[in-house]
Amino acid sequence: MELTKMTMTAYIDLLNSDAPAPGGGSASALCGAQGAALVSMVAGLTIGKKKYPLDQELCIEVAQKTSKLKDALLTQVDKDTEAFNLVSAAFKLPKETDAEKAARSKAIADATLVATEVPFETMRLCLETLQYTKSLIGHSNTSAASDLGVSALNLICCMKGAWLNVLINLGGLNDEAKANDFRSKGEKMVASAQKEAEEIYKATLEIL
């Protein structure tokens, strides 16, 4: 089942059900995809407008980059649910014999690593998108200024939501050094994203 191929109503209804997936990780990635799409839209609404001659090159670049980021974040919607399903499948493996227990433990560890890596990648994509959003403040169609603010709100939701999904898996990692690396880098990304999003939102209010 590809979540991104579903209608909006079907996806929301599935999220509303008692199915364990999709969950917060997929929802966070979708917020990120919306944020990226909004930035691309604002750039597109500036391209070709005579009122913004000095911003054309920037907006063309941002439109191209954020469109690709939107696609990448949409991919994360499905990847996150797939990662959850891997973990669930690993826990259901037989554990009667020592060999089965060893195989099950390895499968759980491998799946947990994937379930950590996927939202961590969502965070990375999100932060990159936020930086493009910020670059358009004061350099894009002012009629769409509010959309940059909404983009920032979607992206900080994506970032913090993905971070929660990284954190919930860290305890299940066998490699303590790797877990510490995720935590250290993740905390820095969240702090950076928070700063970027607040600056974008504040600048948007000033424009409005």
pLDDT in tens, the chain (208 residues): 799 999 999 999 999 999 999 999 999 999 999 999 999 999 999 999 999 999 999 999 999 999 999 999 999 999 999 999 999 999 999 999 999 999 999 999 999 999 999 999 999 999 999 999 999 999 999 999 999 999 999 999 999 999 999 999 998 998 999 999 999 999 999 999 999 999 999 999 999 9
**The token pair that represents 14 in the structure block:** 């599935």
- The predicted pLDDT at position 141 comes to 96
- The predicted pLDDT at position 15 comes to 95
Each domain of the chain, given as residue ranges in start order, spans 27-65+79-207
- The predicted pLDDT at position 118 comes to 98
- The predicted pLDDT at position 185 comes to 98
CATH number for region 27-65+79-207? 1.20.120.680
- The angle subtended at Cα 12 by Cα 113 and Cα 27, nearest 5°, is 30
Contact 31, 161 (CB under 8 A): yes
Closest CA to 56 of 140, 144, 127: 140
What are the pLDDT digits (tens) for 117-139? 999 999 999 999 999 999 999 99
- Classify the C-alpha dihedral 22-23-25-28 as positive or negative: positive
- The predicted pLDDT at position 59 comes to 98
Task: Enumerate helices (H) and strands (E) in the chain, giving the number of each.
Answer: 6, 0
